Amino acid sequence: MNTKFVHLNKNWNAEPNAPEEEIEVINNDLSLSFVVNPWAYEGFQENQRAKILFHGCSKWRNGKTNDEGWYSGQCRFSKIAPDWGEFYEISGNLLLEKCPNDWHIINNKSGNKHFLFYLRDTTFECDAESYEFIHL
């Protein structure tokens, strides 16, 4: 089974140098907030924050692999993910045998979708039922 990536952030992205991401768990949902990139996308102000709300999140991790690690092959999706710095839904082979064991479990129910967001200095992943992008 191949790994399939669906690019989800078409008209927005995190600020490439200092996204200042924050994670908050609220019951079975998870909020990932960050500074958006105002230079590459219209409709955003400098230092404006946005968030992705993951509904029905069962687990998440925010790994240490940054862009340099991704390009040097330290990420399990290096060489197969389309681009660094993007937000994806991944299906098929998630290569979990190559994944660090640093997951935070929210509940025992498995979210049926796997999300991945490459930020400046970290790799965020979670399993959730759905996501919602919110301007703040």
Is residue 38 within 8 A of residue 85, CB to CB? The reply is no
- CA dist 98 and 45 (Å) reads 38
Q: Over its length of 136 residues, how does the chain's per-residue pLDDT go in tens digits?
A: 899 999 999 999 999 999 999 999 998 899 999 999 999 998 999 999 999 999 999 999 998 888 888 888 888 898 899 888 899 999 999 998 888 888 999 987 767 899 999 998 999 999 999 999 998 8
Q: ∠ CA(4), CA(103), CA(80), 5° rounding?
A: 25
Which residues are within 8 A (CB) of 71 and not within 5 positions of it... i.e. 6 or more apart? Answer: 78, 84
The SS3 of residue 67 is helix
- CA dist 15 and 20 (Å) reads 8
Q: Is the pTM of this model over 0.75?
A: yes
